[in-house]
Structure 1
């Protein structure tokens, strides 16, 4: 039986326009070959910029952002998609090949009900009647484990959770009965407990519908649960290609081994956690009539790291907003170094503001794209210390050296930096104020594992040098194990577990912490099935 998708000698290019220089042709992908049979799943894995999404989109004969497919073959059922004209490609997209994006929230139209959007491609391509499409959508809602499947399609995108929206997008891709689906990091933005549900739903749906899939991710532990084969990519070229078992258990290339063995950073907790810097007492907070935090109390010792962990919506980021003064609490108090902090940001002195800084999850949206690194890192130097001109520039260069980037980046714009470099600049900006506490709001969740590992090591090095304290907000238990001294577990606005890392991560567990710890994907074939079986047994016992 011939392969459904066959890619040979793929070459993809783009044009760069450096200011004051002639245009340059950049080769993004070169010499990539792979095959995908019907009903099988191939994982495309590698760090940011490896070419994963660029290659995946060639299955739709699409090059986004000025990218051009300039060589090779992309054959679907023996037909070269690259030789089809615009009319032929339109017949393929949304009918024979469908796409599931990383951010379902950005992919749905907020003005239309989910059901109408799920069946749209099926109707547009004339694949089935409205009645048939609605019946198909209902079947998929059930297969994907969506709540109240008979009425789920009547909801608008904002009326469902992130995990439900991601599954709805999978239903939208599966509805036309495509031969191939391209999943582009569909669980990256989800917390670990939701990720398990979505992974299980995707795997079940693929098995039920017998469609083939390309699964793009930077998480090898995730891809091991859902794919048959794995193609490891780096800098647009093939590194290693083989079965899941071979890649996981016997990788032949150094880069693949590094991916398999990532997260080598680990620090033992501080034995003495009594010297408190930050104290949060009986905090309740919310937005309008919606109460998000309910009677939360915790503390963070000087020079140490408190990891605040929990799924999306548990109140982690809201707690950070209360501590920074961006959100005055309904009840409770925040003390810093033994003194009460004013609840509102505008009531705090410059020195109180300086001592508590924040690093955001998305460095892209936290920086002005029209400002250079010099401007971005230099702004707190001027605001807090009055530095200007050469003195400010020299201090910016010192900070860039401190974050292991070097002064050569001082005149670059955010668009000229990689994801990891942007996050390092965000760290430098926080350090510029010489804070005593930095709130880190999931600063590595958008980064591939090897880059994230580098950021964690940098943060630990800086903590040793400056004795700064971190409150590290995350849903990644592996990060908690790697860097935390103490841990706070939050669930639905409440603090369910708090204390030194060794105690919080040791049994006996409360039900939620147990679920959280068991939801962290492991580099083990069959792990997903084992976790789901355990969950079913627990549910049956209850």
Structure 2
């Protein structure tokens, strides 16, 4: 089999804040054959994305390719001029980013963005490009393929946006597609659909792929071979079966062991205090102009009631677009609810955050799913963490500096990252800064919206342990919105399953193996296994279950 990609003794240098040069990729070599999918696996900061970006001749700001050869279809991407590389990008090599939300322009229609590469490179006429785009939308199992292109990015779900990013990458008929953590932000049922769509399109077109991920179970479904990375070095390479069943390197075995976070263990009985920390009654929230009945045009949350006891955690799960994040935003007051009551720590809150007191805002914090869009790219980590310390606690400069060190320690980040900007951090590091910012307020309740979705399994397991430690030390409560059911099982005392804006079932972690509602059964059967045959053998009729839920 001919190799389409050959990376030989690749070295990448980064420049530190003090001007020192540090080698972050240390002589990595790997090959990808035509039509083969090779996965790059490793913890956050291991060099996965850095290596993948060199396939386009690109290095992040502050980094440079300092040695080695990166050959794609016979072209050494390192030796090409920037103008020559620009001709290759989008035509021979294409990229699907981790955060599709950050990759799309919110002011331009989806179709115009998907076909833009065909216009830039003069690949085909606009009409041909639109026809080809619709074909890709259909192949990627997108709903309403003939009209979805006329929408704007905010008008589609996260899973749909991720597949649209793949359509954008594939429209130029590339020989190689780089997938950079494309399913980490997706719920399990959507992830299955996206993986199946990616796999079918890649196989049908005979397209080679480099799949960057921290999730071994996902990689097992799509990759032919796996390269395990740590600290900028390749620790182990083998076929998917070899890595899963006969891992030799201790780090690979650590990744496999961290696949499922440790369970929470026996759950204490609910506190007997008469008032829960948070009580939501009959909440309705959504988007669009209010109608004559005062309800929004699009109702994303329909009459949901729930409660969170002090020192306990509630998990909210459901597929992309089911209303989980809208519910979190309504509780936080970012998106004021149209109907319903929010009682926090014994006091009824205003539905809008603007009408809540500073102390009420401090006590309930939210950590957003996409760290890329949640952090100000122009500010340093220190500035980002400094702001809540001034706003909520009015600390002086010396106290703030000491507290920032403590916060970085809490989220397992080196203190010397405080002067870096978000663009200089890995996806996992950005998400931990996002979480540290919430901790800076000293809250009683943290709404966690997919906070581990960008973290590798080892770091995610450490963050879950951290959340448990903080809960024990500080008496925190969490509402944990996640598509990772093993994470929810590990930390939550109760789990609410949502579909179509409604609560369909509430279950205890001990009963997750035997859910009663058909949709809950679909969710729990959609969790990928460390078995390369699992996806192909999965028998589900998701649409039948969804039709049942819509009745």
Q: Name the TM-score class by shorter chain.
A: 0.7 to 0.9
Aligned to 2:267: 270
For residues 79 and 400 of structure 1, the distance between their equivalents in structure 2, rounded to whole angstroms, comes to 42
> Who wins on radius of gyration, i.e. which is larger?
1
For the 8 Å contact 2:15–2:21, the answer to whether it is kept is: yes
For residues 404 and 39 of structure 2, the distance between their equivalents in structure 1, rounded to whole angstroms, comes to 41
For residues 131 and 306 of structure 1, the distance between their equivalents in structure 2, rounded to whole angstroms, comes to 50
Rate the CA distance shift 1:152–1:434 in 2: closer, same or farther, 3 A: closer
Aligned to 2:285: 285
The Cα of 1:480 is off from its aligned counterpart by: 0.9
The Cα of 1:427 is off from its aligned counterpart by: 4.9
SS in 1 for 2:285: strand
The Cα of 1:322 is off from its aligned counterpart by: 3.2
Q: Counterparts in 2 of 1:237-252, with a 5 A limit? A: 237-252=233-248
Aligned to 2:23: 27
For residues 7 and 48 of structure 2, the distance between their equivalents in structure 1, rounded to whole angstroms, comes to 14
Rate the CA distance shift 1:212–1:461 in 2: closer, same or farther, 3 A: same
**Paired residue for 1:535, among 531, 537, 541?**
541
**Paired residue for 1:358, among 350, 361, 366?**
366
SS in 2 for 1:149: coil
Q: TM-score, normalised by structure 2?
A: 0.85
SS in 2 for 1:224: helix
For the 8 Å contact 2:114–2:165, the answer to whether it is kept is: yes
For residues 368 and 177 of structure 1, the distance between their equivalents in structure 2, rounded to whole angstroms, comes to 35
Rate the CA distance shift 1:338–1:499 in 2: closer, same or farther, 3 A: farther
The Cα of 1:526 is off from its aligned counterpart by: 1.4
For the 8 Å contact 2:39–2:226, the answer to whether it is kept is: yes
For residues 311 and 233 of structure 1, the distance between their equivalents in structure 2, rounded to whole angstroms, comes to 31
Most deviating of 268-277 and 493-502: 268-277
Rate the CA distance shift 1:95–1:274 in 2: closer, same or farther, 3 A: same
The Cα of 1:214 is off from its aligned counterpart by: 1.2
Aligned to 2:11: 11
For the 8 Å contact 1:2–1:77, the answer to whether it is kept is: no
For residues 144 and 75 of structure 2, the distance between their equivalents in structure 1, rounded to whole angstroms, comes to 41
SS in 2 for 1:252: coil
Aligned to 1:310: 318
Most deviating of 428-437 and 366-375: 366-375
The Cα of 1:38 is off from its aligned counterpart by: 1.2
Rate the CA distance shift 1:8–1:307 in 2: closer, same or farther, 3 A: same
For the 8 Å contact 2:96–2:178, the answer to whether it is kept is: yes
Aligned to 2:53: 57
SS in 2 for 1:83: coil
For residues 141 and 402 of structure 1, the distance between their equivalents in structure 2, rounded to whole angstroms, comes to 43
Q: TM-score, normalised by structure 1?
A: 0.86
Aligned to 2:160: 164
The Cα of 1:202 is off from its aligned counterpart by: 0.6
Question: Can you list the C-alpha shifts for 1:368-415, whole angstroms capped at 9, x where unaligned?
Answer: 677777776566566556654656666666666666669x56964555
For the 8 Å contact 2:49–2:180, the answer to whether it is kept is: yes
SS in 2 for 1:214: strand
For residues 525 and 509 of structure 1, the distance between their equivalents in structure 2, rounded to whole angstroms, comes to 28
For residues 105 and 425 of structure 1, the distance between their equivalents in structure 2, rounded to whole angstroms, comes to 19
For the 8 Å contact 2:99–2:370, the answer to whether it is kept is: no
**Paired residue for 1:179, among 152, 171, 175?**
175
Question: Can you list the C-alpha shifts for 1:271-325, whole angstroms capped at 9, x where unaligned?
Answer: 4225332221112223343322211111112211111222333222333333334
For the 8 Å contact 2:522–2:540, the answer to whether it is kept is: no
- Correspondence 1:333 to 2:330: no
Aligned to 1:438: 446
For the 8 Å contact 2:410–2:466, the answer to whether it is kept is: no
Aligned residues: CA RMSD: 3.4
SS in 1 for 2:277: strand
Size of the aligned set, in residue pairs, is: 534
For the 8 Å contact 1:270–1:304, the answer to whether it is kept is: no
SS in 2 for 1:53: helix
